[in-house]
């Protein structure tokens, strides 16, 4: 029997052990999609206790605590941090087979030197150990990033954001070893059906100094903000979509739809989708001009629990997988851009693991010589970033495309301890590749295996996003 989460955790063959320890584990990290707050990096936040690090904003953990019957008081309520930690420890004890169990213990091992097991009985010991450790100077936000060997981070930022904290970080000579770039997330500008949409247009008008009173002026305002984001180093966009849509339309139709919405009238579903199609076509063409990468996240039904949404707001643990198959429209959307040679580098993620093969075949239709692996299938996302989900995603990608060109893992997290997810991913990747080598399905070719493993871990993402111009090494 193997020891619990020892140095060869998830590695069952000599080849897997070699690939991980000699190659994957030594590579730095670029986190090209996350939800951390740049202000906390700028101010080099120091946490008072482990609950602040672990449970603040982590809806993955909140969801499981609710599943364990924990009262909301101990999750998002006014219970003490010690009480909240206790409830999480008691919940974690039952999370056998859940990635949160592995992530939590990897974080305890790597950042706090704790090699035991967290449960209800050990919670006090772990609480005291972690809190004492957090008082050390190396445990600030920047210290945690450095310990994790993270070279570059892309945050998630709205077009109206000032990016003031990115500027503070960029100007701080004590932080020149950590590159923090904005990433463009224009969902609020696209979601024309939202009740707060008109208020948002007012904010966009103020920020761009362009009065947004038509589809044409909306595009002008967005181009203005894109130029500002580009001046701050942005080279990545991200979209949270219900599904990837394509509804044929004319510019005249979109102007009329936009005017209808400005009047306060309710749009039909078709009008909404036509507008969103036009929006996505427009921004994608601009990304192509700017050489930005377009990320498409889809397949989610958000905020299903309306009572809890009214109490807690979005991103609090009430989302689920959408089974809608949008492959035809996704292909049509990419084709519309490809037809005019304006398709940017694109990464496609679906929350539905049943879409793996669909994405794998769609991306193969739009590859070309302008970039290696120009159209990518994104890593196993959200509910799928577990052992089974990662294996299935990489196996499907290998079956249908070139796994060796894969841009690898991202945290998609709000926590500065979550970089162990990269280690988790790399272990699973090395185990999978090692299995193929051990089984005679790929030669034991050291040069090729090194290139593949180091590529997926780090090098491919640096090349694909153009991060090399921001990195000192």
How does pLDDT run across 171-214, given as a tens digit for each residue?
A: 999 999 999 999 999 999 999 999 999 999 999 999 999 999 99
Helical segments of 313-438, H only: 327-338, 356-363, 387-400, 420-438
Residue 250 has a pLDDT of 98
pLDDT band of 79, cuts 50, 70, 90: very high
Question: Locate tokens 């994104």: which residue?
Answer: 378
CA angle at 286 for the pair 281 and 288, rounded to the nearest 5°:
95
Sign of CA dihedral 37, 39, 44, 49: negative
pLDDT band of 295, cuts 50, 70, 90: very high
Residue 96 has a pLDDT of 98
Answer whether 192's CB lies under 8 Å from 186's CB. Answer: no
Q: Are strands 179-181 and 300-301 parallel, antiparallel or unpaired?
A: unpaired
Residue 332 has a pLDDT of 98
Across the range 11-31, mean pLDDT stands at 98
Across the range 417-440, mean pLDDT stands at 98
How does pLDDT run across 366-384, given as a tens digit for each residue?
A: 999 999 999 999 999 999 9
Residue 322 has a pLDDT of 95
Distances in Å between the Cα of 340 and the Cα atoms of 248, 281, 333 are 15, 11, 12
pLDDT band of 453, cuts 50, 70, 90: very high
How does pLDDT run across 342-368, given as a tens digit for each residue?
A: 999 999 999 999 999 999 999 999 999
472: pLDDT strictly greater than 90: no
Across the range 458-470, mean pLDDT stands at 97
DSSP string, 25-62: GGS-EEE-S----HHHHHTT---SSHHHHHTTT-HHHH
How does pLDDT run across 123-133, given as a tens digit for each residue?
A: 999 999 999 99
Residue 41 has a pLDDT of 97
Q: What is the mean pLDDT of the chain?
A: 97
Residue 464 has a pLDDT of 98
Residue 309 has a pLDDT of 94
Q: Which domains does the chain have, with CATH numbers?
A: 46-139 (1.10.2020.10), 145-469 (3.20.20.140)
Residue 212 has a pLDDT of 98
473: pLDDT strictly greater than 70: no
Helical segments of 122-250, H only: 123-134, 141-147, 164-171, 187-190, 197-208, 215-231
Distance CA 338, CA 332 (A): 10
Residue 177 has a pLDDT of 93
Residue 379 has a pLDDT of 98
């Amino acid at each position: 029997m193997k020891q619990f989460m020892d140095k060869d955790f998830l590695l069952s063959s000599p080849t897997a052990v070699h690939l991980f320890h000699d190659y994957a584990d030594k590579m730095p990290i670029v986190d090209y999609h996350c939800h951390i707050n740049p202000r906390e990096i700028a101010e080099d936040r120091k946490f008072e206790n482990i609950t602040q690090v672990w449970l603040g904003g982590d809806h993955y953990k909140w969801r499981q605590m609710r599943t364990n019957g924990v009262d909301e008081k101990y999750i998002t309520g006014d219970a003490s941090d010690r009480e909240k930690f206790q409830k999480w420890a008691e919940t974690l004890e039952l999370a056998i087979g859940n990635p949160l169990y592995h992530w939590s213990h990897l974080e305890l091992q790597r950042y706090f030197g704790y090699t035991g097991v967290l449960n209800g009985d050990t919670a006090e010991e772990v609480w005291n150990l972690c809190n004492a450790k957090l008082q050390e100077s190396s445990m600030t936000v920047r210290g945690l990033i450095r310990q994790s060997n993270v070279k570059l981070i892309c945050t998630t930022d709205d077009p109206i954001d000032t990016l003031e904290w990115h500027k503070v970080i960029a100007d701080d000579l004590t932080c020149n070893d950590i590159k923090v770039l904005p990433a463009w997330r224009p969902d609020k500008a696209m979601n024309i059906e939202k009740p707060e949409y008109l208020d948002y247009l007012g904010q966009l008008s103020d920020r761009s100094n362009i009065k947004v009173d038509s589809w044409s002026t909306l595009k002008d305002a967005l181009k203005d903000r894109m130029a500002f984001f580009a001046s701050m180093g942005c080279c990545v966009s991200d979209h949270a979509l219900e599904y990837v849509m394509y509804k044929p339309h004319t510019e005249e139709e979109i102007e009329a739809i936009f005017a209808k919405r400005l009047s306060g009238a309710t749009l039909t579903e078709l009008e909404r989708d036509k507008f969103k199609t036009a929006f996505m076509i427009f921004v994608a063409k601009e990304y192509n001009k700017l050489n930005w990468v377009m990320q498409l996240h889809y397949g989610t039904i958000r905020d299903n629990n309306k009572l809890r949404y009214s109490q807690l707001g979005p991103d609090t643990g009430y989302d689920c997988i959408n089974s809608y198959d949008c492959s035809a429209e996704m292909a049509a959307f990419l084709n519309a851009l490809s037809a005019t040679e304006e398709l940017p580098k694109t990464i496609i993620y679906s929350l539905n693991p049943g879409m793996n093969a669909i994405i794998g075949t769609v991306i193969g239709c739009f590859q070309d010589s302008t970039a290696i692996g120009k159209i990518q299938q994104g890593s196993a996302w959200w509910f799928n970033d577990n052992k089974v989900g990662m294996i299935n995603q990489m196996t499907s990608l290998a079956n249908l495309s070139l796994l060796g060109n894969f841009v690898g893992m991202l945290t998609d997290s709000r926590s500065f301890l979550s970089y162990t997810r990269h280690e988790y991913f790399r272990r699973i990747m090395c185990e999978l590749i090692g299995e193929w080598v051990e089984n005679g399905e790929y030669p034991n070719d050291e040069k090729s295996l090194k290139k593949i493993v180091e590529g997926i871990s780090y090098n491919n993402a640096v090349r694909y996003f153009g991060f090399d111009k921001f990195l000192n090494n």
